[in-house]
Structure 1
């Protein structure tokens, strides 16, 4: 399969976009309702699953493809920008130097280690980079943010999202069972959950058995990982495009605008000037936007392609998860 061209733009007319956009709106509505009925299930997870289901059944006409592609790209970028409003610098700094160093080490070593593991397993660079980003930062949302700046196949995106969903779900069950053997409880277990589990909703579910304090700590630690999404995407973007510029004679492009928008929103939130009501609206809007984007990405998942990827991708996901858990546990034990 030919690698997707980074930064490609749709030339479809508004009339051609509406069928796909309508499908996205309906899917987001269903995901939102499912979350209201079963709050333990993230709307983002439901959106991904819906996308995979409809993408592998003969239910989506060809007329929906332009709108799906447009919505996936646009909603993702706007959603990542609004995600910045969930983060405040003072809140993150309040975690303390030890926890922040643990988070940084977990992100860096998980990302770099996953790239090395992917190479050793003979997997593509694009897949390894997407898996490394998703497992190191914030799951499917991070995969979706990174896929626009690296050379990869559509199958790589689908596989990375499937792996994040699978191993993040398994972590919800595994971490509480491991809390006793590894000697973590309360806030420390919350730190471990926040530093090692992939999606925010999965973090909450994993930390819940340890109590409210563990959940609160886990969410803040998790959001401190999300802060690193912008610099990671920016660094990879510049590195990738310089590499292609050297090979193709082009000019290296600037950092993606949505990354700058994300950082701007973090700064706005950090001023304390945004009312709580506005933050609640922004949080809901972020969920809806990312749900739409992830539904679009899920609709591109082809289960047959995942089967062809074979056990090597599953092994990469397992090893990357274990790496994140091991590094974060070590940091909590050694640094407090």
Structure 2
């Protein structure tokens, strides 16, 4: 245990305890489970730096999250993805391209270099911290790369956490349907964890739609990385790094495919979906423990302004896409 699960146990126990409390509130008071898991977890942020809890919390917020996403494939079929429609797919791709372009414009306005513009624009457009780390691994490094990467990871995670709380309320006030809200959550929030939290805090239907839309964005990460590598090669710049499709996306697709053909027994599907629900709540709880709002206040305003403008730009463009009917209706 000491060399295996032992070091993870305290952190996992903390996250599971928070998740259990959030589940209790959700079942007995009709409270949004994901939101309460996040807020209760944030109350224990002082334990995030404790070595006894750090490894387990990190494991829960990353590995369990990905495992939960994989198991979500058991509740979604290929027909669900096809039901999004070609216009929805093209809209998502278009929003990503516009956001990355906005990143370069903002970088020029606020006096930032192309590396920072690409890091922030890519992380906002695709999948938050994961995209930032992936892009940082393939661009030529300078003395600011590590600092800018760390800043981007902290910023997009913090903004995503805020969006996870605010966006469901905003979309409700706008009178949007669950389909529309799910699309907007999946298309505009940066990190997978917060997309899951925001989507399922609205409804199960919105959560399913937001997850599919978000995973469409994640699957575009290798495409963006290939384009960046080719652009760097053409310009004579040197970069390094491998372009890989995240394994949890492959797993999600595999289970969705099997589920589409009815290969998975119903009893296994039921167990898998329930396990997925618990894993995601535990992951959100761990994410809450790791969230320190103080970090956001210590960052330079110009750096923050770039990501805020990119985020608001993406949200505005997505709302316009929904308003003019570019997003097809989805039925689960």
Tell me, what secondary structure is at the counterpart of 2:326? Answer: helix
Q: Which residue of 1 aligns with 2:52?
A: 63
Deviation at 1:261, TM superposition (A): 1.4
Contact map agreement 2:42 2:288 (CA 8 A) in 1: yes
Q: Which residue of 2 aligns with 1:130?
A: 123
Deviation at 1:148, TM superposition (A): 6.2
Q: For the residues of structure 1 that align with 2:42 and 2:167, how far apart are their CA atoms? A: 21
Q: For the residues of structure 2 that align with 1:111 and 1:318, how far apart are their CA atoms? A: 10
Query: Which of 249, 273, 280 does residue 283 from structure 1 map onto?
Result: 273
Q: 1:59 to 1:333 in 2, by over 3 A?
A: closer
Q: 1:301 to 1:168 in 2, by over 3 A?
A: closer
Query: Which of 295, 298, 321 does residue 327 from structure 1 map onto?
Result: 321
1:193 aligns with 2:193: no
1:126-177 CA deviation, whole Å, 9 max, x = no partner?
A: 44433333xxxxxxxx547656645475554443233234334433333344
Q: Which residue of 1 aligns with 2:168?
A: 172
Q: 1:59 to 1:131 in 2, by over 3 A?
A: closer
Q: 1:22 to 1:171 in 2, by over 3 A?
A: closer
Query: Which of 62, 70, 73 does residue 73 from structure 1 map onto?
Result: 62
Query: Which of 82, 85, 100 does residue 74 from structure 2 map onto?
Result: 85
Deviation at 1:117, TM superposition (A): 6.1
Contact map agreement 2:64 2:280 (CA 8 A) in 1: yes
Deviation at 1:264, TM superposition (A): 0.9
Q: Which residue of 1 aligns with 2:213?
A: 225
Q: For the residues of structure 1 that align with 2:166 and 2:291, how far apart are their CA atoms? A: 20
Contact map agreement 1:88 1:266 (CA 8 A) in 2: yes
Q: How does 1:1-336 map to 2 (within 5 A)?
A: 14-43=5-34, 45-55=35-45, 57=46, 61-106=50-95, 108-109=96-97, 111-112=99-100, 115-116=103-104, 119=107, 122=112, 125-133=118-126, 143=128, 146=131, 149-151=134-136, 153=149, 156-179=152-175, 189-198=177-186, 199=195, 202-203=198-199, 221-236=209-224, 247=238, 252=242, 254-309=244-299, 310=301, 312=305, 313-332=307-326
Unaligned runs of 5+ in 2: 137-147, 187-194
- Kindly tell me the number of residue pairs found equivalent between the two proteins: 297
Q: For the residues of structure 1 that align with 2:215 and 2:48, how far apart are their CA atoms? A: 38
Deviation at 1:41, TM superposition (A): 0.9
Contact map agreement 1:126 1:153 (CA 8 A) in 2: yes
1:184-218 CA deviation, whole Å, 9 max, x = no partner?
A: x8xxx454323213435645766x8xxxxxx85x5
TM-score (norm 1): 0.69
Q: For the residues of structure 2 that align with 1:321 and 1:93, how far apart are their CA atoms? A: 24
Deviation at 1:109, TM superposition (A): 4.3
1:267-311 CA deviation, whole Å, 9 max, x = no partner?
A: 112113334544343233223223333333333332221112346
Q: 1:77 to 1:202 in 2, by over 3 A?
A: closer
Deviation at 1:333, TM superposition (A): 8.2
Q: 1:259 to 1:17 in 2, by over 3 A?
A: same
Q: For the residues of structure 2 that align with 1:294 and 1:241, how far apart are their CA atoms? A: 33
Tell me, what secondary structure is at the counterpart of 1:228? Answer: helix
Contact map agreement 2:15 2:285 (CA 8 A) in 1: yes
Unaligned runs of 5+ in 1: 1-10, 134-141, 180-184, 209-214
Q: For the residues of structure 1 that align with 2:201 and 2:100, how far apart are their CA atoms? A: 27
Q: Which residue of 2 aligns with 1:138?
A: none
